[in-house]
Amino acid sequence: MSLDDASVAALRAEVGEGALAAQAPVELDGRRIAWTLCTADAAALGRALRVLGERGLGAVVRGGGTRSGFGNPPRRADLVLSTRGFAELHEIDVDEGVAHLGAGVALAEVERALAGSGWELPLGAAGEDSTVGGGLAAAAVDPRRAAPRSAVLGLTVVLASGEVTHCGGRVVKNVTGYDLAKLHVGGHGSLGVIASAWLRLRPVAERVESWRVEEPSAPRALEAARRPSARAALFEGGTGSPPRLLVELAGDAAAVAVDAAWLRETCGARAAGPGELDDAFAAAARVDPVDALRVRIAHLPTRLAKLTGGIEAAGGRWAALPAHGLCWAHFPLPGGAGEARVDEILAATRAAAREGAGRWRLEAAPLRARRGRDVFGDPDAALPLMRALKARFDPAAVLNPGRFAGAL
Amino acid sequence: MAAHLDALHASLRRAVGDSACLTRPEELFVYEADGLTLNAAKPLAVVLPRETAEVAAVVRACREAGVCFVPRGAGTGLSGGAVAAEGGVVIECSRMDRILALEPGDRYAVVQPGVVNAELSRAAAPHGLFYAPDPSSQAACTIGGNVGENSGGPHTLKYGTTTDHVLGLELVLPDGEVVRLGGPAGFASGYDLVGAVVGSEGTLGVVTEVTVRLTPLPDAVETLLGVFPEVVSACRAVGGIIRSGLVPAALEIVDRRTIEAVEASVYAAGLPTDAGAVLLVELDGVAEAVAGQAERVRELCREAGASRVDVARDAEERQRFWRARKGAFGAMGRLAPDLYVHDAVVPRTKLPEILEAVCAICDRHGLRLSNVFHAGDGNLHPNISFDRRDPDELARVVKAGEEILRTCVEAGGVISGEHGIGTEKRDYMGMLFDDADLDAMLRLRAAFDPDRVCNPGKIFPATRFCMEANPRARGYDRVPFE
Ligand SMILES: Cc1cc2nc3c(=O)[nH]c(=O)nc-3n(C[C@H](O)[C@H](O)[C@H](O)COP(=O)(O)OP(=O)(O)OC[C@H]3O[C@@H](n4cnc5c(N)ncnc54)[C@H](O)[C@@H]3O)c2cc1C
């Protein structure tokens, strides 16, 4: 699948010659996508989306590409729609603690712009190239920021119908109309292309400390992760070494001091290096195609111990954010391992999710393990509603066709 | 028509039982309005189901009879959301008032929609937990209504609104099917449908079960009351506190006219009636931290011009401070027969100038205005006391309301922070959203309720209704209606 000359001409008529190029092909799930469309003009992107719909073409929406390994294989992928053209830092309002950012802006760039302002970003980056739009569309979770949805105040979204739409606003409280931003955050670009976002920034903590606890029990790890100033806590095991917990305390210096004393006295915690937690999380949860299966299981926090036993028994290691009830399991899948091994791992995953009263998804796996399976996990009871939404927002299935839950 | 109505009443009775189906005019009268008494409409019947299956049966009965239906909680809403604007059956959920599960370890509860907000926090308290969203109406309003409006409250500043605390929903869809969205473990794996339903004002289905997050009660609470010469300096203090990086649990302003009303009422809290405004600041967290934060707040208030900053010495004094805030609406009942509670949000830095503009608007229209509001969120509540029996005054109230909203929007704000759009503000949606934006919302609506039978007449501008019903009229064919 690629673009024929007539489609290229029709698209270029809408976005301009330079905005559609075949210079940097993108590899995705065994496909080589030659063409990339990248524009700074949301209205032009809208017109291009209409052209794609009329011609029955499918596009892969892409920010920095740091999370493009996650998703079902696309049903069509005629071109890449890069959001990198939406590269403007529209506004950073340090008095309000809000920012309006182009979807294609790299989170790292925003962080640099915020340095010294007293504010920080509410989104975590998977890599130097992670973008604002990508982080939101993927509802990217990191140890410090488990809920990107609550950081979004408003969005500008280009719909498949070509319309440039707005939802929400720039203020920190708002119930004016439906909260459509919720559908686009975590919608993986399947309902529209996020062009820009108003985000609520977080105040920089007065004090940050990192601590390590060796061999805590799961209940103790949960207790530690729930301390008032625990901003992030990562608990990992099944690695061959005894389980360990890394905790980052952040906030008011007095509150941090209280929790640090508790960690030392109750858990025998020792000071850890500031990057240890991030490194451990990156190793456990990063999404890129590997010779391994990585699953994410959302679970009830008190059930963690029940989950991890099953993961280890199936040959996996795990890393959890205990306070958020999220656990990543990593299972090696050497080249020789066949379908039966994949089934075995997924059966263990399913059982773990059941134990945790939660849900699983396959965050990273070689293409062969993803084919014919839904990486978003077992079918959701709400799938008919999701299908109806997709049909209303993107009836011609232009946006990331097949990649979302239920192969939508 | 009468035979048709009799048949509807009969099938509703079959669905919920005789005693849970109200049809007599005097019974229906109380359901003609909610907290916004200006927009009244008579329902065809009111049902009071106890179970999800009864709700589903009612919805099916309505569908068979070709009538629409309106979910309702306690009816404290202030935008006309729970009113049968286009006729139809009101499904009042107040008898669905059971807490089905409370899991302290995993910090969640599963409740029926009719559970009263404050009751849930009361039930959670022995476990050291509470339900964080706390509308000022929390003694009466229901969790179902809170979900409908995505309600907030004084403590929204730190804890967020309802949407930040709802993990899962059970919903009777407009076709009578029952669906579960999300769940106690959160992180649903498709679209965030829970997030889309919260705040949808009862237009996407009837919520029959809500799984909510419970939050640990803070170790320590400090409540401060800053006394300011005028409301503008109190707003300046709010700006200073936000800018300092402190995140108080609440930052509420009560202006002079409200103070006067409160002090003359049973809610009197001993506030200085010569003050221009008081700022109520609540800090919570670890005791060791809260004390220091209180000191910083005190300094910031002084810098902004506070003549006095008192710290509540005990729980009793804290309650006294809050009485001024929470009793404000009740106290205003003494000022005039009617009260119009407005709700809009502006960037917090714009509060001083917007408040001046709001006062000027009301002065120009000769209206009695008082302000008591969630300053930390920039969420204004200009309250206009009036007498609806005076048609001229009523017209001025409506005109001033529109001007206030326009002023807020021009300052970068929005037309509702917590009360919703309902029938009240649907014709002002165009101030913020263009046709394409509203079309996008209608796409969501159509995915859940393609026939527009669930709480019609809300949120979307009246002029769009004919378009909704007849998508091809006036060239309107962008939403793919089937
Ligand atoms: C004195 C006073 C103070 C207030 N203070 C605040 C405040 O601080 N913050 C705030 O946010 N609001 C406040 N309100 C407004 C109001 O109390 C809230 O909007 C509240 O959430 C409404 O709850 P309710 O049970 O009364 O719902 P209702 O008014 O009955 O309904 C509200 C909306 O929710 C829908 N709904 C109700 N139940 C369901 C259900 N089961 N399924 C689907 N939809 C449903 C209705 O259709 C309607 O659209 C205040 C009101 C008053 C009178």
Question: How far is Cα B183 from Cα B168, in angstroms, rounded to an integer?
Answer: 4
CATH number of B220-330: 3.30.70.2190
User: Would you state the pLDDT for residue B39?
Assistant: 86
Closest CA to B153 of B173, B168, B139, B172: B139
Fold match, B2-92 / B100-216: no
pLDDT at residue B334, as a whole number: 84
d(CA B380, CA B343): 6
In eight-state DSSP terms, residue A286 is -
Higher-confidence residue of A286 and B346: namely: B346
User: Nearest 5°: CA angle at B159, between B154 and B161?
Assistant: 70
CB pair distance less than 8 Å for B441 and A178: yes
Residues of B in contact with A259 (CB under 8 A): 286
What is the spatial distance between Cα A7 and Cα B444, in angstroms, rounded to a whole number?
A: 31
Return the CATH architecture of domain B2-92: 2-Layer Sandwich (3.30)
Q: What is the pLDDT of residues A44-66, one digit of tens each?
A: 999 999 999 999 999 999 987 77
Q: Ligand 1 pocket: which of B54, B95, B141, B204 to mutate (most atoms <8 Å of CB)?
A: B141
What is the rounded CA–CA span in Å between residue A338 and residue A315? Answer: 15
Q: Can you list the alpha helix ranges (DSSP code H) found in B192-255?
A: 193-197, 231-243
- Alpha-carbon distance of A309 to A326, in angstroms, equals 15
Please report the pLDDT score of residue B1 as a whole number.
64
**Is the Cβ–Cβ distance between A120 and A232 less than 8 Å?**
no
| Cross-chain Cβ contact A382/B180 below 8 Å | yes
* φ and ψ at residue A320, rounded to 5 degrees: -125, 150
* Contacts (Cβ under 8 Å, ≥6 apart) of B444: A178, A180, A183, A389, A392, B196, B200, B204
Closest ligand 1 atom to Cα of B420: 19
The string of pLDDT tens digits covering residues A331-380 is 998 887 888 999 999 999 999 999 999 999 999 898 889 999 999 999 88
DSSP letters for A129-151: T-BHHHHHHTT--BTTBS-GGGG
Centroid of ligand 1 to alpha carbon of B144 (angstroms): 8
Contacts of B420 in chain A (CB under 8 A): 175
d(CA B152, CA B131): 12
From A258, A389, A391, residue closest to B191, measured CB to CB: A389
For helices B435-448 and A383-393, angle between their N-to-C axes, nearest 10 degrees: 150
At B475 the pLDDT is 32
What whole-number percentage of chain A has pLDDT above 70? 98
- What is the H or E stretch that residue A248 is in? strand A244-251
Nearest residue, CB atoms, A95 vs list B107, B191, B243: B243
**Residue of B99 and A145 predicted with greater confidence:** B99
Nearest CA in chain B to A219: B105
Which residue among A170, A175, A301 places its CB closest to the CB of B150? A175
Ligand 1 centre to CA of B76 (Å) is 5
Chain A nearest-CA residue for B291: A254
Between positions 12 and 51 of A, the ones with CB within 8 A of B are none
> Is the CATH number 3.30.465.10 carried by domain B100-216?
yes
Domain B336-426, classified CATH 3.40.50.10440, yes or no: no
pLDDT of residue A288: 59
- Enumerate the residues of chain B whose CB falls inside 8 A of the CB of residue A182: 163, 192, 194-196, 198
* Domain boundaries, given as residue ranges, for chain B: 2-92, 100-216, 220-330, 336-426, 435-474
Pocket mutation for ligand 1, best pick of B112, B151, B323 (most atoms within 8 Å of C-beta)? B151
Chain A touched by B345 (CB under 8 Å): yes
Per-position b or e across B77-88, b if 16+ CB within 10 A of its CB: bbbbbbbbbbeb
Distance between B19 CA and the closest CA of chain A, angstroms = 34
CA of B426 to the centre of ligand 1 (A): 17
Q: Which of A40, A44, A49, A4 is nearest to A22 (CA)?
A: A4
For the segment A105-118, what is each residue's pLDDT rounded down to a tens digit?
A: 999 999 999 999 99
Write out pLDDT tens, residues B304-318: 999 999 999 999 999
What pLDDT was estimated at residue B56?
98
A316 CB-near residues (< 8 Å, 6+ apart): A238, A329, A330, A331, A345, A348
Domains, chain A, with CATH or none: 5-83+392-407 (3.30.43.10), 89-203 (3.30.465.10), 206-284 (3.30.70.2190), 286-377 (3.30.70)
CA distances from residue A384 to A184, A381, B243, B349, B447 in whole angstroms, order as listed: 18, 8, 45, 44, 9
Instruction: Give the DSSP H/E element, type plus range, for residue A188.
Output: none
| Per-residue model confidence (pLDDT) at position A290 | 65
Q: Give the model confidence (pLDDT) of B187-245 as tens digits.
A: 888 999 999 999 999 999 999 999 999 999 999 999 999 999 999 999 999 999 999 98
Residue A286 has what pLDDT?
63
Q: Report whether B194 contacts B204 (CB < 8 A).
A: no
Helix (H, G, I), strand (E, B), or coil: what is residue A196?
strand
Report residues of chain B scoring pLDDT below 70: 1, 464-482
Q: How confident is the model at residue A289 (pLDDT cuts 50, 70, 90)?
A: low
C-alpha A31/C-alpha B182 separation (Å) is 34
Chain B residue with Cα closest to A396 = B480
CA distance A169 to A154: 4
Length of chain B: 482
Measure Cα distances from B78 to B126, B343, B411 in Å.
Answer: 32, 9, 23
- The residue with greater pLDDT, A158 or B269, is A158
* Closest to B131 (Cα-Cα) out of B180, B166, B106, B101: B166
